[in-house]
Amino acid sequence: MAALKEKRTCGRRCEDFGRFVWDSDEGKLMGRTPEKWVYISLYYAAFYVVMTGLFCLAIWTLMYTLDPYAPDYQDRLKSPGVMVWPDTYGEEVIEITYNTSNKDSWMKMTNILNEFLKPYNDTTQLECNTYNCTKGKYFIQKTFTAPHHTKWACPFTQSMLGACSGFEDPTFGYNCSMPCVIIKMNRIINFLPTNQTELPPYVNCTILEGEENVAKIEYFPDNGVMDRSYFPYYGRLAQPSYVNPLVAVRFNLVGEKHAKIQCRVVSHKISYENFHDPYEGKVIFYLKALK
């Protein structure tokens, strides 16, 4: 009995629904006459046109008042982050581990470095950044004197990394125990790392663990300096050909050939003891050469 009742209600429901879609008695489609549907459609069309117009007007006003060359919403971050290449991560920490007797292992590191250094290709840099920069001085540019309403940027070429450029030794020291790492500091628009009277910012690497396993630390360019002429950075639109200055560090690993290293960019305007951002002003990594 119950099943029969159920069936009937179901049939009835379908019928009701059919009537709802097209009610031939009253000439209604989905509960409204076609005429009403036309009015409703027109109303909504007009409504959306007006809303879109208002939205576009708001965006346009916002864009008009923004200066594309100056960041209005600069990150509150005032001190730049520092990174190391090859950027190979272990569990949460950066672990640059390679096997000197396994070509695949050290080729992985040299490939990362070659890929990273591509924008620094000497030919490319000297073609894109033709301005004759004055070393040791901030490159302050108040006006857009470079072509296409941009500002000049100073070239930084791969060969400035000397023994770590990959030219003398295409393995970057990874086929033996003298690996090179590359330190890069993030860009911050309009940031001047020191005042004119102080030393320019430089990279200082210290051994946190395994001091006895590092015989020598060398910096390229000399003294690990990031020349002042690469600062300030004016933003991607103003300085499309800008590249960050780099510092390469070569470690001579001996003994057990592993160490925990901290590389810091030293300048009194760059803080490095931010508990919440371990990469602010410094980078810590493990370097390990296997055999």
Ligand X SMILES: *[C@@H]1O[C@H](CO)[C@@H](O)[C@H](O)[C@H]1NC(C)=O
Q: Are 282 and 261 a contacting pair, CB within 8 Å?
A: no
d(CA 240, CA 218): 32
Q: Please, which residue, 165 or 235, has the CB nearer to ligand X? A: 165
State yes or no: residue 171 binds ligand X (CB under 6 A). Answer: yes
Reading the block at residue 128, the tokens are: 């894109």
Q: Does 111 bind ligand X (CB under 6 A)?
A: no
| CB 55 to ligand X: min, Å | 45
Q: Smaller CB distance to ligand X: residue 120 or 242?
A: 120
Kindly tell me which of 13 and 78 has the beta carbon lying closer to ligand X.
Answer: 78
Residues 234-273 that bind ligand X (CB under 6 A): 266, 268
**Residues 6+ positions from 37 with CB-CB distance below 8 Å:** 29, 30
Residue 223 and residue 202 in contact, taking contact as beta carbons nearer than 8 Å: yes
- Of residues 235 and 251, the one with the C-beta less far from ligand X: 251
Please name which of 100, 147, 151, 156 lies closest in space to residue 126, comparing C-alpha atoms.
156
The residue among 19 and 105 lying less far from ligand X, judged by its C-beta, is: 105
Does 79 participate in binding ligand X (rule CB under 6 A)?
Answer: no
Cα–Cα distances (Å) from 152 to 68, 136, 276, in that order, read: 17, 16, 35
Task: Say whether residue 143 binds ligand X (CB under 6 A).
Answer: no
99 binds ligand X (CB under 6 A): yes
Name the 3-class secondary structure at 33: coil
Q: 197, 273, 275, 276: which one contacts ligand X (CB under 6 A)?
A: 197
Nearest residue to 110 via CA among 192, 24, 170, 194: 170
Binding-site ranges for ligand X (CB under 6 A): 99, 101-102, 121, 123-124, 132, 169-171, 175-176, 195, 197-198, 204, 206, 266, 268, 290
